[in-house]
């Protein structure tokens, strides 16, 4: 016990109702959405058997839905990319599960190794690409669920054909 701390709770702590609330079934804060993504990432049995790789188009699978949010699983073979886009009114959490991805924005290029997470607000524009030699898998949580993904023009994308992607 920390003797410098003279704060003590008198009475029965279990009688304080707000301390007894059960954990929420669904995430509601940015930290909880990040936590949801981390918990799925850490449990391969939830996603590894679902992953497919498609050289002709980026593969995606809706892994989970909840009140106001969706969780998508995506795969990226080497060279596949999203094109520069935003996410409409959705905010999101991108988590790299396997392999490595590169995120490009107008301001920066970021290497995203396995375990990396990016949290973005509505209107955030980026391009995600697998510049590596191995396939990659990523998890994307959108709140609210993604209903549009407007494509932007980008100097990064001029030389490539931007695929019509549903999620990224
Ligand atoms: Fe995206």
Q: Residue 10 falls within a domain, yes or no?
A: no
Residue 54 lies in a domain: yes
Residue at 73 is within a domain: yes
**Higher per-residue confidence, 133 vs 155:** 133
Q: How many CA atoms lie within 13 A of 163 on its CB side?
A: 18
Ligand 1 centre and the CA of 24: distance in Å? 27
C-alpha distances in Å from residue 85, one per residue of 36, 50, 82, 91: 24, 26, 8, 13
Q: What is the mean pLDDT of residues 148-152?
A: 94
CA 25 to ligand 1 centroid distance, Å: 26
**From ligand 1's centre to the CA of 167, what distance in Å?**
6
User: Tell me, what's the pLDDT at 26?
Assistant: 92
Q: What's the gap in Å between 87 CA and the centre of ligand 1? A: 6
pTM: 0.81
- Is the pLDDT assigned to residue 156 strictly greater than 70? no
Question: What is the Å distance from ligand 1's center to 163 Cα?
Answer: 13
Nearest to 165 by CA among 120, 129, 123: 129
Tokens representing 109 are 């290029």
Residue 1 has pLDDT above 90, yes or no: no
The domain total for the chain is 1
Question: Could you report the per-residue pLDDT of 42-87, keeping only the tens digit for each?
Answer: 999 999 999 999 999 889 999 999 999 999 999 999 999 999 999 9
Q: Which residues are annotated as a binding site for Fe cation?
A: 85, 87, 126
Between the CA of 44 and the centroid of ligand 1 the distance, in Å, is 22
Q: Has residue 164 got a pLDDT over 50?
A: no
Is the bond leading into 144 cis (omega within 30 degrees of zero)? Answer: yes
Residue 35's φ and ψ, nearest 5 degrees, are -65, -40
Residue 5, in any domain of the structure? no
- pLDDT score of 68: 94
CA–centroid distance, residue 49 to ligand 1 (Å): 23
Confidence grade of residue 155 (pLDDT, cut at 50, 70, 90): low
Is residue 74 included in any domain, yes or no?
Answer: yes
The domain in which residue 138 lies consists of 26-143
Q: Is residue 39 part of a domain?
A: yes
Residue 17 lies in a domain: no
Percentage of the chain modeled with pLDDT above 70: 88
Range 97-101 average pLDDT: 98
CATH code assigned at 61? 2.60.120.10
Binding residues: 85, 87, 126
Is the pLDDT score of 161 beyond 50? no
Give me ligand 1 centre to Cα 45, in Å: 25
Please check whether residue 92 lies inside any domain of the structure. Answer: yes
């Amino acid at each position: 016990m920390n003797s410098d701390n003279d704060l003590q709770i008198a009475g029965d702590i279990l009688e304080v109702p707000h301390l007894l609330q059960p954990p929420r079934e669904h995430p509601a804060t940015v930290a909880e959405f990040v936590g949801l993504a981390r918990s799925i990432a850490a449990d391969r049995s939830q996603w590894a058997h679902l992953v497919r790789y498609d050289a002709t188009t980026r593969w995606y699978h809706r892994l989970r839905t909840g009140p106001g949010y969706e969780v998508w699983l995506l795969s990226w073979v080497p060279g596949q990319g999203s094109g520069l886009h935003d996410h409409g009114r959705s905010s999101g959490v991108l988590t790299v599960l396997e392999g490595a991805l590169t995120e490009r924005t107008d301001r920066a290029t970021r290497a995203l190794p396995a375990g990396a997470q990016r949290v973005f607000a509505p209107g955030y524009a980026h391009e995600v690409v697998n510049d590596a030699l191995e396939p990659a898998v990523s998890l994307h949580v959108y709140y609210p669920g993604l209903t549009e993904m407007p494509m932007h023009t980008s100097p990064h994308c001029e030389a490539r054909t931007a695929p019509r992607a549903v999620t990224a």
